[in-house]
Structure formats: structure tokens, C-alpha cells
A and B are shown apart, each in its own frame.
Chain A
């Protein structure tokens, strides 16, 4: 149905992925706590939304920090530096993105040990 995203089962996406990556196990962004850092595995939304989120910086392997949970869910995107894997400079290019809770539920994140 339009407007409804794919279901989330056991922390993994069971739906359309616009980025071509193989979905890997993660937890929904909304299950993180405020201040927690994670790495995006997958966005399990409609292709259009997934493309937009990716273009906004919420792309696979991007590191995010949860600034606020709830409605909206606010994350800070900290892009990975080339050659550094998921490690990133804490003082680098970053932007804040607000997500409706429904959308944030569909962003799967691997929690990074702080």
C-alpha cells in the first residue's frame, strides 16, 4: 500500500532496498538510546524514500549519532572518511536530519561500541 513501508522482522528488512546492498542484521534506529552512535545497515522504505534518505546522507556505512528519540527522531550524520571504514572523525562534515518516527523505525543500524 502506498505510504507504508516494508515490515521489519527480527531486526532485518524484508522489503525493497534502493541501494543494492545485501541487508545485514541490525536494529531499528528507534531502539537506540539518545546519544548512542551506530552505523547504518539498511533503509527499509519505499525506493523513493530510500533514495532520498541516502541522498541526504543516511547511506549504508554512514555513522550516525542519535540526538533525540521520539517524534521526530533526530540524528546527526557523520560520514565515514575514505579508508577509515566505519571509523570517523568526530569533528568533521556532519549534518542533522529529523525523521518522522515511522521512517526512523525503518532505518536499520548496527550499534557501535562507544
Chain B
């Protein structure tokens, strides 16, 4: 074989090892490149980034049958590009991978042993230009003639043998969607040879060369096929007119988005509740099996809670990406991008950014991950920076709590305040994107030009594999960060250990002599003010007092007291400061933290709002949630980056912590300033 291997990682021409052949998969967008990759590799792949870039890198493996004397293949799925010569980050990555100066993170940088160029049989002339550019790189090449079934349907017959002769490399006709012909590709790649022709070097020459080959290899068709195609075109025209119509297009888009997010919210709730109950059971089981001590607390309160914090997001992520993949595969998403383009263009974003921003209303994590679909790097980063401003579902408990406290018994005002939070988040996100595009991410706002793929019935296999890929990527990369953050925050809340307060010890000792259901009272302890309650109630009361005491003296509690002066301009006391601090793990933690701080238990069921609204500060008179502090807190939670898991995903998607730290500083700074302004106005 005339290839070197990735293991050698040496210059081309070095002795080849037959054990592993590195293959770069290249192709125009919408040629079925990823479908072919999924068909060949299935679940045997991993997703990472190209070092120093935000570009996703997928590496798959094909293990041959042991009886065959074929080497294993390592496939690198390169981003879809129209030309290797374009001034785009995707084209730059493809150029560098083919030159052997870039490889997916963790892989040795070496030129690929072979290149597989996936071409769309129904658009051969244009695709052959990219084939020509690849052949000029002098690498063993195989052309996968994909969508051959569609070409046949349209009356286009391509002579693969003639095409192979003209191109000087192997040509394999295939239909990646159905699997037809795909089995022949690994063998062709394993035996790929250097092309025996060199295409012209100029653009004009290359295009003419591609046209000539297309004319020589593609044979004519029957008139009946022509009629079929004209009918197909008519339908496509009609659908395009509806989907991109200035009014109708928006209505269709709104209906599809409503359906998409309704499905996500409706379907994700069940598995999310299931995950929470499974982890609650697991935590209870650990508490029951292990003796009291550090290990038990670490496993039950740190590891299990952290794992829950990771996996509870999975249903939303899986559903979102599954549905997006389905929509993308139908060909609709490209049309929708144009519908939203006119709204986002004034803010330096294009229609590509709409889906990520909308997704962020469910959860910023999949929203930030969905920014991968934005082709322009600057615009992608601007969208990543603005996505967490969108009010995610984790903010809802906080909004509900604060609007109810602010407008008790006035549902209309509560609804208005609730809606205003969403509007404020969207406005802040878009204005932040505009600011970023005018300063740090300055660059030409490219007018949108997008290929509109043919309408197709979506392939479920592709959607499932894409969803699996995204889910694994989240669990492996972001998940590990989220788990670590949750464990750190647990430790801060649980340590150092302090002796239980005498009040709790005394109450527990008193209740110890009675069964749970027994009604008991101890008037001398409370001067006769306490009502008659069961022994179980007093035990719970003792636990609550102990939890409050432990949190107040924990590192988190001490930090809350330490940073309280910082939040003084927003009207927060130390308890609110602790709530803000702990909710960096996830915003929804705020309500349960406040429940612990105020009541001593983390039960956030009905009635807790009233308890929190009535709770007072250390002076015993001033409410914790004064109207001014509540307004400040509401504004703060709309704008602040109170979600370290999202930060971890931002760091991953933007290619480093620089942008994540900027996002944290900008959002928290903005939240602080506007929170202080809200407090000053409301005071």
C-alpha cells in the first residue's frame, strides 16, 4: 500500500504500518458527508474540537473483519466546505488537516493516508471542483458518489468507471442514507492510490475541467424523467415561497418552533422527574447503607447530587438535538434561517443564530452547543456570548418566587413582571451581541448566502446518531466540569462541620422519648407559645435548626457574610448573598438554598413562598425580601451568569476559558449595575 499511517506521524513516504489508515472525509455542505460518516462508523466515534478552534472534530473508526487482511480505518469528518481556497475557518481547517499541520485534539498531526471526497451526484459539476482541488494536494483519494439514487430518479446516469478514469482515482457510487454501496468504501480507502492526473491550477481551468468531466461521465436521460424533475421543482418552488414568505414564513416558523419547544417541555419533564427520583433514591440508599461520616456525605451530597446535576439536563439536550436534526434533514431549517435573518441582522447576527438563541430559552447549555451551526466564527462567538441572557427554564422558579413576593394576589401584575423578565433577557442578549460585533468581534456582517437543500423525508438513523453524539459530548466534556463544580459547591456548603446548636440538641433529646405520631408539648422550653405538635415535627424542627446553623457556619455561609458588603448596593443581606453564591451551580438552587437558610429544610413545595416572603433579616424586623431588594434580585437573575455549567460549555465551545471568563464578567457586571439601579429606583 502506498500510504503512511497516523501512528508513524512522520513525513509522507515514511514506512507504512498496515495497522491503521487515517482518512480525511471532505465534501461540499449538504452532500451527505455526515450521513456517510455515520453509516460507516455508527457509534464507533468520538467528538472533540480541532485545537484552538471552535470547530467540532469527529473521529470515527472502522474495524475490518479479522478474516480480511485490511487495516483499521480512522475517519476524520472535516467541516463541509465549497472550496479549499476560501477565506473561511472551515476551509482553513480542511487545508491544514490535508497538509498534516492540524489534527483533532489528542491526535498526532500528520497528513492523512487517504482522502474521501463525498460528492452529490445530482450536482456533479460543482462538486468536482472540490475534487480537483483535493487531487492537486497529491494524496491518495477516493470519490464517494453519494445520492446516486436521487441522480437516477432525476434521469441523470453517471458512469462511475468513466469518471474514475477521468479523475485518476477510485470512484464508489453510493447512497449513504440507505447504505447502498457504502460497504465498498472502506476497502477502496484502504487501497487508495495517488491520483494519476493533476487538475489545472487556476479557478477558471478547474471549473472548465470539472465541466468537461461532468459532460463526459454523466449521460443523458429520458424525457419522462425530465417531467418528474419539473414536477419536483414546482413543488419545491411552492414550498419555498410559503416557507420564506415575509408573513406566511414567520407564521409557519412560529408554529414549528412552538411545536418543537412544547414537545421538549412536555416530553422532557417525565425523564427529568425520573432522573431526579432515581438519584433521590440512590442518595437515600447510600445514606441507609453507609455509616454516617465524610464518605457518606461526599457520595450522597456531592457525587450523587453532582451526577444528577449533569444528567438532569440530558432529556432536554437529547430532545432538542433530535428535533433539530429532523428539521435540518427535511431541508426546512435552511429556509427558516432566512426568515429570521431580517430580525437578527441589525444586531450583527444572521438567521443561523436564531435556533441557538431560541433553544437557550429551554436551557442555555444546548443553546450554546447549537451555536456550532453558525458558520462565521465571530458571529458564532457573539451568539455564544448572548445565548445565556435568554431566560432559561432554570430561572423560572426564581421568577415565580420573586414575582409572587412582589405582587401577592395580583396574577396579572405577576404575569406582566414575568413577561418583562423574558423581554429584558432578549434585549440584553441582542444588545450584547451588537456590542460584541462592534468591538471585540468586529468584522463584516456577511450578507447571507445559503444553499437550500432539497426537501427530504428525514432519516431517523441520522437523527439518533446525531443526538447520541451530542449527548455523549455533553456528558464527557461539560458533564465532568459540572460534576466537579457541584462537588466543590457541596463541600463549601457542608464544611467545616460545627457542633449542633443547643436548641436543636435539646429539642431532639426531648423528642427522642416519644414515637413519631405522639402529640407532645414542652411548655417550659418555649414559654407556652408553641402549638401542640407530634414528636416527628419536633425532630424535623431540630433538623431545620441544625441545617440553618450548619449553613451559616459553613464556608459558603461565611463567604456569604464576607461578600454581603459587595451586594449591599443591591439591598441583599447575607442570606440572600448565600443564595446568590450557591446558585452559581445552577440558578434553580437559589430557591432551595433560601429555603434552607430561612426554614432549615429544602422543601420548596407550596407554602414556602409565604415563608420566604415573611422571613426577616438578623434584626428580626426587616424582611429579607424587601420590595426594592426583590426588584434588584429579579433584575440580577435575569442578567447574571448564574450557571457555572453553562460557563463550562462556553469554554468548550469557544475553544478556551477566555470567552467564558469574559461572559461571566460581562453578564455579572451588567446584572450588578442594573440590579443596583433597580434597587435605587425601587427604594
Contacts and interface: CB of A to CB of B under 8 A. Distances in A.
Contact of A96 (B204, B212, B229, B451): B451
Contacts, number: 138
B208 A55 contact: no
Interface in A75-97: 76-77, 79-84, 89-97
A98 B233 contact: no
Contacts of A32: none
B183 interface: no
A7 interface: no
A67 B449 contact: no
Contact of B86 (A52, A81, A89, A90): A52
A37 to B, nearest CB: 13
Nearest to A74: B240
A3 B448 CA distance: 11
Contact of A52 (B207, B342, B449): B449
Interface residues of B, number: 55
Contacts of A54: 203
Given A46-B444, A95-B123, A74 B449 contact: no
Contact of B451 (A56, A68, A79): A56
Contacts of A46: 444
Interface stretch (B214-222, B320-328, B528-536): B214-222
A98 B226 contact: no
B452 A74 contact: yes
A49 B225 CA distance: 35
A97 B29 CA distance: 12
A19 interface: yes
B449 A53 contact: yes
Contact of B207 (A51, A59, A91): A59
A79 B88 CA distance: 24
B124 A93 contact: yes
A72 B448 contact: yes
Most buried by B among A3, A19, A67, A100: A100
Given A19-B203, A68-B240, A96 B452 contact: yes
Contacts of A6: none
A52 B450 CA distance: 10
A82 B83 contact: no
B196 interface: no
Interface in B450-479: 450-454
A95 B126 contact: yes
Interface string B80-123: 00110111100000000000000000000000000000001011
Given A74-B240, A96-B452, A48 B122 contact: no
Contacts of B449: 49, 52-53, 56, 97-100, 103
Contacts of B582: none
Contact of B448 (A56, A57, A91, A103): A103
A68 B241 contact: yes
Contact of B447 (A70, A83, A102): A102
B518 interface: no
Nearest to A48: B87
Given A68-B241, A79-B211, 15 more contacts: A5-B447, A45-B447, A48-B446, A55-B83, A68-B237, A71-B246, A74-B452, A80-B211, A81-B211, A84-B215, A93-B126, A98-B451, A98-B452, A99-B448, A100-B447
